[in-house]
Structure formats: structure tokens, C-alpha cells
Amino acid sequence: MAASSVEELLAKAEQEEAEKLKSITVQKELDLDFDLGNLLACDKNRIETRDFRGQKKEDFLRSLARDNTQLLINEIWKLPTERVEEVIVAKLPEPTTRLPREKPPLKPRPPTKWEQFAKLKGIQKKKKTNLVWDETAKEWKRRWGYKRANDDTKEWLIEVPETADPNEDQFAKRVKAKKERVAKNEFNRLKNIARAQKVKTPGVGLVPKAQQSRNELAKAVSVAKVSTASVGRFQDDLPKEKPPKNSGKKRKFDPLIGDFSSEKQKQLDLLKTMGSKKPRLDITKAVNQQMREEDKEEAAAKRRKG
């Protein structure tokens, strides 16, 4: 009895060990279709319903996935391999299955004006080094940016041209010219982006409107009226001028000391409102407001049609 139980345990252990160390050879009635570029394997073999129902679904699916994965790995090992940084890698071929994508592929970026000009003239892009030799400082400095070589804005002595104004600051002139160049480059960059996205670029300065609305005019008048040294306090009113709307009002706070009867009454009114069973929403007021909004929408629709 004991000997048979020991043999059963040994047989069970051998079976479990064999399941863990399965063979790399898998037999299938029909060969799988492989797309190694996408690491894809398609199994066309028919699944027997009897086998699927005869055992647990999880075990059956796990075994099927293991066999197909083993076949895919076997195909990968047939590819040419190479060693890269002490690691063996395989070069995958081009994929043959077109996978669906949620969005269309990105369109190529249209070339800029400089790229078109360079292609027309045959100008090749050359990579420049980041450091250059500065003859004045006798050391290597950056080609661009902070503490760059041959920075004309950092010179302590500048020769004034004969045709220049002797009272003009040449140092400030160079700094101003540099700022203008930076602004021009940034403007050209934005123009390239707008041209690539087919968006019209606005003109320089404020864009005037054909006709301003009543609210915009009233706001402009109120802003102009308070744009004085006295913030409009001593500004005379025009005849029949209406008081400005949405004017700032000073906040009035209750005194910190004194009679607290008003504060007590406010707290009692708040508790009374919270404990009341009446709805906080004024239904009549809400209905009237909704009706006014609907009338406004109908009037706006009629104006658009008419």
C-alpha cells in the first residue's frame, strides 16, 4: 500500500516536471501563417469542441497559446542573428499584414522657403561644430548663445563710421539691431508654421473692426473716462450721459466691535432658511427667466433669417 502510494507520488512529480519542461517541437495538422515583422502567428487549425469542453477552459487556452507561441519563437530563431553589445538580436523582416489604425497616417511636412531655396540651388546642409576659436580671447568659445565667440555686443571699443551721427550710441544701436534680428527670425518661423497649416497670418499691429457693438463702445468710453490722473473723479459728464455700467464698487464690511444684533439676526435668518421645508428655488422667477431666454433665442433666429 505504501509502495504504491510512493510510486504514484513519483509518477505525479515526473508528470509535473515534464509539463514544465515541454518540448520545443509542436505538431499541428495545418501550418501556422507567420508575420514575423509584426510578431504575429495565425492558427487556422480547427478547435475540437469535445476537447474544449472536456477540460477546463483556462487550461485549454493556456496550452493552445503556449504551443503557438513556441512555434512563433522557433520561426524567430530561424532569422539571421547578430551580436550587439554582448546581446544576440534578430533582424525582423518587413511586416506583411496591414494593421488598422485609428487615425490616418501623418502627412509629410511641407518644406519651408529656405528648404525650397536650398534644394533649388543645391545647397547641402553641413553640421557645424559647437566650439570655435576666438582670436580676441585666445580660447575656444561657443559658436552661438551665451558667451559666444566674436560677440560684437560685448566689445568695449567701437569705431564710429564717418557717415554715422556722432551723438548716436553705437553700443545701443548694435543691441537694438540684434533684437530686431531675433524678432524677425521668430516672425519668419511663425509664418512658416502658419503656411504649413494653411492659416492666414494677421497683419502687423491692431486689426480694426468694421463695426463695433454697443457693449464694446460703452466699455471703451468707460475705460477712457477713468484713464486720467484722478481716475475720472474730476472728469466732466457729457449732457444726457448715462452712468457707467459695471463700475467698481467698494466693499463695505461690518465693524469688528460694537452692536452684534445685526450679525445675530443674520445667523438666525440663515438657520431659519436651512431648516425650512420650502424649496429654496423660486419657481416663478426661474420660469420667467427661462421664458425670456427662449424669447431672446427666437428673436435672434428671426434676425438671422431676415
Cα–Cα dist 154/171, whole Å: 9
Handedness of CA 80, 81, 82, 84 (dihedral sign): positive
> Facing residues of 132 across strands?
141
Q: Pairing relation of β-strands 87-90 and 81-84? A: antiparallel
Q: Which residue has the cell 555686443?
A: 153
Q: Ramachandran region of residue 86, left (φ > 0), alpha (ψ -120 to 50) or beta?
A: left
The verdict on residue 29 lying in a domain is: yes
Cα–Cα dist 60/52, whole Å: 7
pTM, 2 dp: 0.32
Of 150, 173, 193, the one marking the end of a domain is: 193
Does 39 lie in the same domain as 7?
Answer: yes
Cα–Cα dist 103/100, whole Å: 9
Range of the domain at 136: 113-193
Does 177 lie in the same domain as 144?
Answer: yes
pLDDT, residue 191, reads 86
Of 128, 158, 193, the one marking the end of a domain is: 193
The verdict on residue 107 lying in a domain is: no
Q: How far is residue 113 from each of residues 49, 140, 196, measured CA to CA in Å? A: 66, 34, 11
pLDDT, residue 120, reads 93
Which three-class secondary structure state does DSSP give residue 89? strand
pLDDT average per 10 residues of sequence, the chain (306 residues): 66 70 76 89 83 74 87 89 85 86 81 89 86 84 82 78 85 88 90 79 60 80 81 80 70 74 84 77 84 90 80
pLDDT, residue 224, reads 82
The verdict on residue 251 lying in a domain is: no
The verdict on residue 220 lying in a domain is: no
pLDDT, residue 265, reads 87
Of 43, 58, 90, the one marking the end of a domain is: 90
pLDDT, residue 118, reads 92
Which three-class secondary structure state does DSSP give residue 199? coil
Cα–Cα dist 159/170, whole Å: 9
The verdict on residue 74 lying in a domain is: yes
Does 124 lie in the same domain as 74?
Answer: no
Domain count of the chain?
Answer: 2
Cα–Cα dist 135/139, whole Å: 7
The verdict on residue 178 lying in a domain is: yes
pLDDT, residue 267, reads 85
Does 78 lie in the same domain as 25?
Answer: yes
> Cβ(92)–Cβ(79) under 8 Å?
yes
pLDDT, residue 130, reads 85
Q: Which residue has the cell 499584414?
A: 97
Cα–Cα dist 140/149, whole Å: 8
Does 77 lie in the same domain as 25?
Answer: yes
Extract the runs of DSSP E, i.e. beta strands, from 7-157. Answer: 33-35, 40-42, 81-84, 87-90, 131-134, 139-142
> Facing residues of 141 across strands?
132
> Cβ(81)–Cβ(88) under 8 Å?
yes
pLDDT, residue 184, reads 92
Q: Tell me the three cell numbers of residue 91.
A: 533582424
